Amino acid sequence: MLSYILRRVLYTIPIAIGVSLVVFALVHLAPGDPLSAVMGEVDQKMLAEMRASFGYDKPLPIQYLLWLGNTLTGDMGYSLRSGAPVFPMLIAAAQKTMAIGFAAALIGFTFGLAAGMLAGYNHGTWLDKAVSSTAIAGVSMPHYWLAIILVIVFSVQLGWLPSVGAGSPESFWSWEAWRHMLLPAIALAAIPGAVVARTARAAVMEILSMEFVEALRARGLSERRILLHVARNALPTVLAVMGLQFAHLLAGSILVETVFTWPGTGYLLNLAIFDRDMPVLQGTLMLLALFFVFTNLVVDILQAWADPRINRA
Amino acid sequence: MNKPADAHAVTIGFESVAGERTQLDVPVGGIVQRTYWQNVRTRVLRDPYTVACAMVLILIAGSAIFAPWIGLIDPTAANSSHRLLPVGAPGHLLGTDELGRDMLSRLVYGGRLSLMMGVLPVVLALVIGGVLGLLAGFVGGRTNMLIMRVTDVFYAFPSILLAVAIAGSLGAGLANALLAITIVFIPPVTRVTESVTTQVRSMDFVEAARASGASTYAIIRTHILGNVLGPVLVYATVLVSVSILIAAGLSFIGLGASPPAAEWGLMLNTLRESIFLAPLNAVLPGFMIFVTSMCFNLISDGLRSAMDVRF
């Protein structure tokens, strides 16, 4: 197990380097250098000075190494728009995204898992059909559209919940903070919840058709105990899907955050794109992509732990 | 042909997928020998959901393609005195948008861009990713290493993030959004093709074909493509549904189509400001995205069970 973890971690390093290269290359794909895009028509001499102070006058490979080195030490440069340091900005935004991300995962995974397992266990009944069709609607749902519908129903028509921003709660553990989080979290929960439900249903159905379940029944185990065995066997698959869905959820929050003007990483990314604020864009992309790489790593290790049969040779 | 196909279904092994007749012919008089694809077609046609979805998609795509000739109002004709008319208003069956343009016409015309953005990236990714995957799987060795490791890196990005990052870096516009989504889909297609190719390549029947003098091209064409086609087709329909969601999402945040074009994601974005005045109008473009995406998903499910594809 330990050697598997070690090898899996080592494998992550080249991937992370590749990811950083892609992020760097993407930002430099745009024609012209980052500054002229922001500054517009200015004095050439001043532009050259600015370029030197941001380090944009150096050759690209040097720029990449400098940027990578700085990023690793937590120095992500300064926003071209506001002049504020990028790193604290990112941390603040990441906390906001994590807040709705965890809330969404809690809602989506709880409902998805329960519904999916019940549907798989009661395969072919009306319950199974209801869950399956809701789940297929969920995976096809443009979550930014669901967000708009939620706003129309709960903010505009009923007036129960706010539709914009995170409010200014005194602490995270207050109704003020939670009522702002509720709608974005539900919108974000739809897709992962549906995917988990589909996965859990398929896994439970497959396991129920295995011979060992027959053997358990023959030995006279109660249905509840059998369901426990089934759940234990479905765990690795479901766990892996949940991990990946969580990472996808955080990345996908850019669209939902745009609807709710939620001050998270997605909203930051959106602003950075339209401001052509390269340091912020690079930082946000890097953070989200590395988080995804890290989640993949954790998922693989968890899966190996939950299912000892996974080939670790 | 009137008999239920499954009653005499021939168990088809991997090797017969290319469409040749199998050797597993059942020696019963009067039974028509059927190929794998004939069986798939019968099974698909007997699945009501798949057929219904295909019909809905044909309706949406057909009306979009023939939009200029079915008597719709000009989708870009604005009328400031008819802004945000409700659904069911006389002369405007589905109301009007924030500039007084006819919603029905814009929803139908919107299908042109939205469907194109759903299908085209997948087709391009299938061609490029398919070639890369075949190359990696068939040549193996260093070529495989190189292609698959680069694929791994792009795979390390969540799809929406990568699409937004590429489209955002290149700048707003339909062509850039198209390119962005294509790049997002190349790695998964490469992976599926590579894994099937590697599996099939080491099978006995490929060895046998080679031993009997079949050229590499013939082996790729009959055996590899024949076996890859099923899984890739199922996968491609899922990708189209994802592609529609991402493309409309890009337009929704201002990175895809630009006004005054009719495109579902863009319409959803501009109508978002009108949710207080005309909530139903604001919801309609999203409904189109949802229905189209769901139909592709259901068709994929239908194809999957008809072809018995598992991956």
* pLDDT 10s digits, A57-101: 777 788 888 888 888 887 778 887 788 888 888 998 898 899 889
- Residue A312 reports pLDDT greater than 70: no
For residue B223, the model assigns a pLDDT of: 79
Two tokens at A180? Answer: 């702002």
Phi, psi of B102 (to 5 degrees): -70, 125
Model ipTM value: 0.85
- Residue A195 reports pLDDT greater than 90: yes
For residue A230, the model assigns a pLDDT of: 87
pLDDT tens digits, B14-55: 444 444 444 444 444 455 667 778 888 888 888 888 899 999
Q: How far is CA B207 from CA B141, B143, B214, B217, B289, in A?
A: 19, 21, 10, 14, 47
The span from the CA of A3 to the CA of A1, in Å, is 6
Instruction: Give the pLDDT band of residue B216 (cuts 50, 70, 90).
Output: confident
Tell me whether B290 touches chain A (CB under 8 Å): yes
Comparing C-alpha atoms, which of A277, A107, A280, A108 is closest to residue A193? A108
The span from the CA of A225 to the CA of A212, in Å, is 13
Q: Closest-CA residue in chain B for A153?
A: B279
Cβ of A19 within 8 Å of Cβ of B248? The answer is no
B38: number of CA atoms within 13 Å, CB side?
A: 17
B52 to chain A, minimum CA–CA distance in Å?
Answer: 15
The four Cα atoms B228, B231, B233, B236 give a dihedral, to 10 degrees, of -110
Cβ of B169 within 8 Å of Cβ of A254? The answer is no
- Residue B1 reports pLDDT greater than 60: no
pLDDT tens digits, A101-125: 999 999 999 999 999 999 988 888 8
- Residue B200 reports pLDDT greater than 70: yes
For residue B30, the model assigns a pLDDT of: 53
Chain A residues with a Cβ under 8 Å from any Cβ in chain B: 14-15, 18-19, 21-23, 26-27, 29-30, 136-137, 139-142, 144-145, 148-149, 151-152, 156-157, 247-248, 250-252, 254-255, 258-259, 269-270, 273-274, 281, 285, 288-289, 292-293, 296
CA B11 distance to own-chain centroid: 29
A90 to chain B, minimum CA–CA distance in Å?
Answer: 16
Which of A18, A255, A293 shows the shortest C-beta gap to B252?
A255
Cβ of A148 within 8 Å of Cβ of B286? The answer is yes
Q: Closest-CA residue in chain B for A14?
A: B153
Give one word for A75, left, alpha or beta, with left for phi > 0 and alpha for psi -120 to 50. Answer: beta
For residue B26, the model assigns a pLDDT of: 46
Max Cα-Cα span within chain A? 86
Q: How far is CA A298 from CA A242, A294, A311, in A?
A: 11, 6, 17
Stretch A267-271: mean pLDDT: 89
Tell me whether B250 touches chain A (CB under 8 Å): no
Q: Closest-CA residue in chain B for A295?
A: B156
Q: Looking at per-residue confidence, does B205 or B288 come out higher?
A: B288
- Residue A194 reports pLDDT greater than 70: yes
> Which stretch, A48-62, A71-85, A159-173, has highest mean pLDDT?
A71-85
Give start and end residues of each alpha helix (H) in chain B: 36-45, 48-65, 103-139, 141-155, 159-170, 174-201, 204-211, 216-219, 225-252, 264-271, 279-307
Q: Would the pTM of this model clear 0.90, i.e. be above it?
A: no
The span from the CA of B137 to the CA of B201, in Å, is 8
